[in-house]
Chains A and B, each alone.
Chain A
């Protein structure tokens, strides 16, 4: 959780964050964009208890049942009265439209009733702020690499609440390539994390998998060629009746993905004169990626930050934090803010 030293005394700006873009129903209160006062996620034990251990199946219905209790609990844990809120931040995309609308409706109703500013947040942008919460002392400019099952985005952040997109994937996300190849290797989807574990025992040079767009003059990524090459490789071995060298495939696959990600990130940091690199998204948990990025960055006098596992998963604290910085820049969302299921970074 956020460290408290160095923060101003007394009650700063309190922002309520609400997040219902996917499976989790979450709410959080954050002070001054740095200090987490509460961080409630509906899959947590306390809420299971609240519902006697029964959690409804269908995503949007589950959100409807959980949203108000989750918000109430977040306010209570933060010892915050709704009237004390400076702003309400809510995820409005990307995600399932039914799920998004639940959080959005709750946020709008509260904001209207309290006459409190509403700030819509892009879920992917939210993930970046997990780092800000964890390392409150770090300041932009910085380069942020967001890698997950659905995203591979390279951003330049000149100040919190504002960014420039440098590159993104042109086909598959890095995490998606991991997950899909894992399935061909017989693992359950999404098996990316499993691959990372197997890679530890393998030889990363065993198979020379393609490194898409690595030499190209762009910060964009491409992982579909790697996906198809790996699948072909596995099928060929299977057809020959050979046993799959799973550890070597995992290690070589990881090496290919990590090479491209780290190369482009460091190149961007150099080009933009940034001494700080943020890693965010689910794949930020990948040890191989962290280690190599650390190594390359250190050699350039740069520092890499990545969030702890708690903040890597979907949560509302990061939404509140992102909301705080947008609120401070004077940004307000209109009352007719709509859910945007396929919202991308840089779009509204």
Chain B
């Protein structure tokens, strides 16, 4: 599995990473965003949205609504499985309909509805290091996303991040 890890030193860097990632996402792609409560998943989605030409101030937590839809250069479907009591409740959303659509799907807490995720997706895990530092792992689940990891890796290797960045094939 191809993977890239970056250390983010603050919300602005996480936003910038999301924006960078957005360039490599294509219609129909699914991103699974995992990490503890309040770690920065929605912040990263704001970054992705920015990259798609969406005003990040309008991107809010979809925990209550389960899904927010945004119109950018490509439609952005922003899901959140946090408050589901049982994974089956996901079916009430008409989730497959969205996946068949021409948008990019980003799922916060996607690990809670793993069975409903397409076999090929990009997994992003955010880990808390300190109050403002985060480790952000990008992993290609299925070869379709190997290219995305390669491109991200290339771009980040030129960013002069030193040991705050690593790229690998495990």
**Known contacts A169-B60, A171-B42, A224-B42: A150-B65 contact under CB 8 Å:** yes
Q: In the bound complex, do residue B38 and residue A180 qualify as a contact, i.e. CB atoms below 8 Å apart?
A: yes
Bound Cα distance from A139 to B91, whole angstroms: 43
Q: In the bound complex, do residue B37 and residue A180 qualify as a contact, i.e. CB atoms below 8 Å apart?
A: yes
Asked if A184 is at the interface of the complex by the 8 Å CB criterion, the answer is yes
The list of the 10 closest CB pairs from A to B, nearest first, reads A150-B64, A228-B38, A231-B38, A172-B61, A227-B38, A149-B64, A342-B69, A342-B68, A170-B57, A97-B94
Residues of B within 8 A of A190 (CB): 83
Q: B26-66 toward A: CB 8 Å interface, digit per residue (1/0)?
A: 00000000001111001100000000000001001111111
Bound Cα distance from A172 to B65, whole angstroms: 12
Interface majority SS on B: helix, strand, loop or mixed?
loop
Residue from the list A173, A184, A227 in contact with B64, Cβ < 8 A: A173
Residues of B within 8 A of A (CB): 36-39, 42-43, 57, 60-69, 83, 92-94, 131
Residues of A within 8 A of B (CB): 58-60, 94, 96-99, 148-151, 168-173, 175-176, 180, 183-184, 189-190, 220, 224, 227-228, 231-232, 341-342
How many whole Å from B75's CB to the nearest CB in chain A? Answer: 12
**Known contacts A96-B93, A97-B94, A170-B57: A176-B64 contact under CB 8 Å:** yes
Q: In the bound complex, do residue A220 and residue B38 qualify as a contact, i.e. CB atoms below 8 Å apart?
A: no
Residues of B within 8 A of A189 (CB): 83
Residues of A within 8 A of B61 (CB): 171-173, 176, 224
Residues of B within 8 A of A227 (CB): 37-38
Known: A149-B64, A172-B63. 17 other contacts (CB 8 A): A96-B66, A97-B94, A98-B92, A98-B94, A168-B60, A171-B42, A172-B60, A173-B64, A189-B83, A224-B38, A224-B42, A224-B61, A227-B37, A228-B38, A231-B38, A232-B131, A342-B67
**Known contacts A59-B92, A150-B65: A183-B37 contact under CB 8 Å:** yes
Q: In the bound complex, do residue A176 and residue B38 qualify as a contact, i.e. CB atoms below 8 Å apart?
A: no
